[in-house]
Amino acid sequence: MSWDSRFTEPIQLPDDIKLASLRESIAHLVKTIPAAERRLPAVITAAEMLTAAAEHGGPIEFARIATLQALNRHAFRAFIPTATSRTGGGVIWRAIDDEA
């Protein structure tokens, strides 16, 4: 593997930035994450997974997932029960700041 290895599905960011490779992902993390937050577990894990995939043949999908978690490190998801349908429809996970 190499740093130019590509994700199966690129990470699409809100501001029209697309992270398609390991190299693009690590560069984006270095550029956007403040130095004070680089020791957070999600950020360290993302860096380790990206490095493992690029240099040791680790799973690229794990690197993608870790990158998403690092990018969304401040997002808080909560279980908010909603009405279910008569057919036993499921419950919905959503951010607590989502509109109902």
pLDDT of residue 36: 95
Number of helices (H), then strands (E), in the chain: 3, 4
In the block, tokens 């990158």 appear at: 67
31-44 residue pLDDT tens: 999 999 999 999 99
Sign of CA dihedral 65, 71, 73, 74: negative
- Position 97 pLDDT exceeds 70: no
Torsion angle defined by CA atoms of residues 51, 55, 58 and 61, in that order, rounded to the nearest 10 degrees: 60
pLDDT digits (tens, 9 = 90+) for 68-91: 999 999 887 776 666 555 555 565
Q: Name which residue leads in pLDDT, 15 or 42.
A: 42
Question: Given this model, what pLDDT does residue 82 score?
Answer: 61
Residue predicted with more confidence, 95 or 38 = 38
As a whole number of angstroms, the distance between CA 40 and CA 68 comes to: 14
Beta bridge partners of 93: 79
